[in-house]
Amino acid sequence: MSKQFDVIVIGAGPGGYIAAIRAAQLGMSVACVDEWTNSKGGPALGGTCTNVGCIPSKALLQSSEHYEQAGQHFAEHGISVSGLSLDVGKMVGRKDTVVKQNNDGIAYLFKKNKVSFFHGRASFAKALDPAPAAAYAIKVAGAAEETLHAKQIIVATGSSARALPGAPFDEEMILSNDGTLRMGAVPKRLALIGSGVIGLEMGSVWRRLGSEVIILEALPTFLGAVDEQIAKEAHKAFVKQGLKIKLGVKVGEVKKGKKSVSIAWSNSKGEAQSTEVDKLIVSIGRVPNTQGLNGDAVGLQLDQRGAIVVDDECRTSLPGVWAVGDVVRGPMLAHKAEEEGVAVAERIAGQHGHVNFNTIPWVIYTSPEIAWVGQTESQLKAAGRGYRVGSFPFLANGRARALGDTTGMVKMLADAVTDEILGVHIIGPMASELIAECVVAMEFRASSEDIARICHAHPSLSEATKEAALAVDKRTLNL
Ligand SMILES: Cc1cc2nc3c(=O)[nH]c(=O)nc-3n(C[C@H](O)[C@H](O)[C@H](O)COP(=O)(O)OP(=O)(O)OC[C@H]3O[C@@H](n4cnc5c(N)ncnc54)[C@H](O)[C@@H]3O)c2cc1C
C-alpha cells in the first residue's frame, strides 16, 4: 500500500511528535512513524523522553524525594512518621502510569491535529522518485508493511545509551537508563559509571531509597559543563547526602558474577581499586540512532559520531530531508529537540523558524536542583569578556527558610559595560522553575538592572533572582 504526504516524520520523541503537530497546524498532510513498543506490543509515543527518560526519571525522583522527606525531614516540621515502608513495585507502577498518560496524550494530540501515525521501523527505500512525483519513499516495517511518500522528511530518531566496551547491557545487572528505571527492588550496593546529568539523577533516586551509591567518573572535574562555583556547591551537597563520587577514574575490567558485578578501576593517583556491587548503571553518553534508517541508500551524510550532519537550520545533505533532536549535533535535551522540530516545520512552510542556542536552559533534577542558562564564568574569562557577578544565597531567602531548603544560590553574570545578562546559574530549591525567568530575560536581552527593577512576589524563591541581580550592582537589600 502506498500513501502520499507533504511531510513524513521519522520518530515520535519530543523532536518528532512536536514537528509533526506543528507541520499539521501549518496545513500540511503529515505522517509520523515510530517503532517504540510497549509491553503489550502496542505503540508508545514520546520516544526516549516519555518512555525511559525525562518523564519516568522525574516520576521516580519525586517518589524517592517524598520517601526521603518522610523519613528524614518531616520530624523538623513536628510530623512524626512511624512504620514508614517502601513498596518499590508500587512506585515503579506509578511511574509506568505517568508514562502511559503521556503516551496516550501524544496519541490524542496526533488525532486532534490529524497526524497519521504508523507503528513500525521507517527506512529510506530509495532516492527521490523521478519527477513529477519527486518524493522520497519511506518503507515502514511493522504490523503492516507500508510505503509512504513525501517530498519533505524530518528525521527525529533520537539516541540510545552507549555501552561500556566489553560490558554490554543485560538490563538485569548492567543497566542502561531503561533497566535503571525498571528495577523492582532497591539494590544494596549500586555503582554508576559516569557522573553526567542522567547518572546523577539516577544515583539520587536509588540513594534516597537506601542504596549505597558509588559514582566513578573519568573526568578529573565534577560536572565540567556547570559553572565551577555551582559545581563545587553541588559536589559538597551530594557528598554530604552520602553519594561517593570518585573523579579521574579509569575503569578496567567489569566482570559479571552470579549475583554481583565487580569493577576494576584505578583512582586519580593511578592506584588499583576494585568495587563489588549488586547492580551497575552505565551512563557514559548516548549514541545517535541512525542504524536501520538505510540512510546510505540515499546518501545521508553522518559525522564521526554517527550523528546526521545538519546545517544551522537542520538541513541534511539531502534536499528536503531535515534532522532534529538527539540524532544531530548540540545538547541532547528534549526541549532543544522540540524547538528544532517547530523551527523545521515552520521552515518547510516557508516561515522563519528560529532556535536560539544561547538561551537553551539546562536542568539537573537532583536535590538541590541545578539549572543554568547562558555562559559560565570560565567561558566568559576564556572569551576575554568583561563581566560583573552578583550572587544571592537561599539561606537569606524567606521562602527557602520556610520550605526548610536553604542550600545553594542564584548567581548572575552581566556584561561589565552594557549590563546585559550573559548567564544565570542556580543551585537550590525549584531551580528548574526559577531558570525560566532568566531565559525570558536573556531572550529579550535584558540587563541585570531590568531584573532588579521588576517586582517579585514575596515571599518567593524568585526573590533570590532579583537579589542576585541587585548584587551585580553591589546593592542587595536582604544580605
Ligand atoms: C534517563 C534520562 C533522563 C532524561 N531527562 C531529561 C530531562 O529531564 N530533560 C531533558 O530535556 N532531556 C532529558 N533527557 C534527554 C531526552 O530524553 C532527549 O534529549 C530527547 O528524548 C530527545 O528527543 P528526540 O525526539 O530527539 O529523540 P527520542 O526521544 O530518542 O525519540 C526518538 C524516537 O524515534 C524512534 N525511532 C528511532 N529510529 C526509528 C526508525 N528507524 N523508525 C521508526 N522510529 C524510530 C525511537 O523509537 C524513539 O521513539 C533524558 C534522557 C534520559 C535517558
Question: What are the pLDDT tens digits along the chain (479 aa)?
Answer: 569 999 999 999 999 999 999 999 999 999 999 999 999 999 999 999 999 999 999 999 999 999 999 999 999 999 999 999 999 999 999 999 999 999 999 999 999 999 999 999 999 997 666 655 668 999 999 887 899 999 999 999 999 999 999 999 999 999 999 999 999 999 999 999 998 899 999 999 999 999 999 999 999 999 999 999 999 999 999 999 999 999 999 999 999 999 999 999 999 999 999 999 999 999 999 999 999 999 998 999 999 999 999 999 999 999 999 999 999 999 999 999 999 999 999 999 999 999 999 999 999 999 999 999 999 999 999 999 999 999 999 999 999 999 999 999 999 999 999 999 999 999 999 999 999 999 999 999 999 999 999 999 999 999 999 999 999 999 999 99
Ligand 1 binding pocket mutation candidate from 22, 60, 119, 157 (most atoms within 8 A of CB): 157
Q: How far apart are CA 267 and CA 259, in angstroms?
A: 25
Q: Give this prediction's pTM.
A: 0.96
Instruction: Tell me which residues are annotated as active site.
Output: 458
Ligand 1 centroid vs 160 CA: distance in angstroms?
Answer: 8
- CA of 58, closest atom in ligand 1: 8
Grid cell in block for residue 363? 536542568
Q: How far apart are CA 336 and CA 333, in angstroms?
A: 5
Ligand 1 centroid vs 10 CA: distance in angstroms?
Answer: 12
Alpha carbon nearest to ligand 1 atom 7, residue: 54
Distance separating the N- and C-terminal Cα atoms of the chain: 70
Grid cell in block for residue 375? 555562559
Strand residue runs (E) in 11-145: 30-34, 115-126, 136-142
Ligand 1 centroid vs 226 CA: distance in angstroms?
Answer: 22
Grid cell in block for residue 21? 503537530
Q: Is the CB of 325 under 6 A from ligand 1?
A: yes
Q: How far apart are CA 472 and CA 441, in angstroms?
A: 15
Alpha carbon nearest to ligand 1 atom 2, residue: 53
Q: Is the CB of 50 under 6 A from ligand 1?
A: no
Q: Is the CB of 51 under 6 A from ligand 1?
A: no
